[in-house]
Amino acid sequence: MVSLQRTIRSMRRVGVREWWRQLQYICDAKSGTYVGKDQFGNRYFENRNGEEEVPGRHRWVDLAQHDYNATQVPPEWHSWISHIRTEPPSSDAVMQNLTPPWQARYIENLTGTRGAYKPYNTVAPKYNAWEPKVKARA
């Protein structure tokens, strides 16, 4: 649970509008330094002040879309949030030169949406339904 003092301190740091947005979306009042932005418009933050945050929760993402899921975070940013990398991709020289220009951009998982992959069958069915043949009456 967020303490009242921390909530008021966060409201002063980020402003009332951003503070209210955070309470609506992540149910917490956080303030930290802006680290970078990805191709989807998600913003990434870090708070190195140890007494304010729970250990391991001092890095977070502010997702651009309201209807969000975990696949909207690209792999390079996910590794930074999960503490696999120490430097964020926006300031890491290795990550800037790692992605070749011919490689396709990262696409989020579209399962359950209109953009989901739908396979179609090109093979004739093994069994056909029985259709009775009726003769005309005389």
What would the mean pLDDT of 56-64 be, rounded to a whole number? 83
Kindly report, residue by residue over 19-59, the tens digit of the pLDDT.
888 888 777 778 888 899 988 889 998 887 766 666 667 88
**Residue entry with tokens 């649970």:** 1
19, 36: one domain: no
Residues 38 and 86 placed together within one structural domain of the fold: yes
Question: Of 12-16, 24-28, 80-84, 106-110, which has the strongest mean pLDDT?
Answer: 80-84
**Average pLDDT for the chain:** 82
**Residue 113 half-sphere exposure toward CB, CA atoms < 13 A:** 8
Same domain for 6 and 50? no
Q: Are 18 and 56 members of one domain?
A: no
Concatenated DSSP letters for 15-50? -HHHHHHHHHHTSS----EEEEE-TT--EEEE---T
* Sheet containing strand 43-46, strands side by side: 33-37, 43-46, 59-62
Query: What is the percent of the chain where pLDDT is above 70?
Result: 89
The residue that leads in pLDDT, 100 or 32, is: 32
In a domain, 77, yes or no: yes
pLDDT at 1 over 50: no
In a domain, 52, yes or no: yes
**Position 123 in a domain:** no
Do 8 and 52 lie in one domain? The reply is no
Indicate the number of domains in the chain. Answer: 2
Q: With contact defined as beta carbons under 8 Å apart, do 100 and 136 qualify?
A: no
Q: What is the pTM of this model?
A: 0.69
Residue 125 covered by a domain = no
Instruction: Tell me the β-bridge partners of 43.
Output: 37, 62
4/67 same-domain check: no
